[in-house]
Amino acid sequence: MGNLSRFLDLKANLPNEVNLLAVSKGRDAYEIRSLAEFGQIHFGESRLQEALSKFKSLEDLNSLKWHFIGKLQSNKVRGVIRNFDFIHSIHSLELAQRVSRISGEENRAPKVMIQVKLRDDPTKSGFLEKDLLNDWSTLIDLPNINIIGLMTISPINLNSTDRKLLFKECRFLADRLGLLDCSMGMSGDWSEALDSGATWLRIGSYLFESLIN
């Protein structure tokens, strides 16, 4: 097995209220198992089919928690609800309503985060701030979903200072709505997110690339 020092350093240095989500999309079950053996519990996947094939070979690790972080298509909602504990990427009211209805049918109550788009970015989905505020009373009344926070992704062209500003806005909006969690920060900007009040860092390549060598 490769080098675990990035993973161990990160884990050792995160404040208690900040969680590390190891983003395992594109990684195989063996790599996931390597981190799980060193105490990693939360893993993030962005494609249902890819995730399902890994779940089979990791069935014995029943304390793992799975987070869906990808763009959620309506025909994948039931499969995601059956197989994941958290959904970070609720990007529209219509999707939230569908997740609520199907969660009821499946007798599940996933923890969800609402994806917000705080900067113009044609490559990303998510609620605009004004739409989220408009839809908020409808969202919090939906049964069978437990809204725990907001999720955001920085546009690639922002520098470090502007990313911090963006993440702070996300934190501020979550606080205003009474939400504890902010899922923000990836391999390239997790320290900015950490400084700005993230509670879930979604980190993939930074962790896994040091494992395989």
Q: Which residues bind ligand PLP (CB under 6 A)?
A: 23, 25, 46, 69-70, 153, 186-188, 202-206
H helix or E strand, kind and range, residue 184: none
Distance CA 11, CA 154 (A): 23
Concatenating the DSSP letter of every residue in 3-56 gives --HHHHHHHHHS-TT-EEEEE-TT--HHHHHHHHHTT--EEEES-HHHHHHHHH
Q: Are strands 111-115 and 86-90 parallel, antiparallel or unpaired?
A: parallel
* 147 or 185: CB nearest ligand PLP: 185
Tokens of 137: 């009373």
Helix (H, G, I), strand (E, B) or coil at 150: strand
For residue 51, give the nearest of 81, 74, 19 by alpha carbon: 81
* 103 or 152: CB nearest ligand PLP: 152
* 102 or 184: CB nearest ligand PLP: 184
Residue nearest to ligand PLP (CB): 204
E strands of 166-207, at which residues? 181-183, 200-203
Tokens of 33: 């198992």
* 106 or 195: CB nearest ligand PLP: 195
* 50 or 106: CB nearest ligand PLP: 50
CB of 137 to ligand PLP, least distance (A): 27
CB of 154 to ligand PLP, least distance (A): 10
Contact call for residues 167 and 142 (beta carbons, < 8 A): no
* 139 or 204: CB nearest ligand PLP: 204
Helix (H, G, I), strand (E, B) or coil at 109: coil
CB of 153 to ligand PLP, least distance (A): 6
CB of 90 to ligand PLP, least distance (A): 13
CB of 202 to ligand PLP, least distance (A): 4
CB of 94 to ligand PLP, least distance (A): 20
Contact call for residues 156 and 119 (beta carbons, < 8 A): no
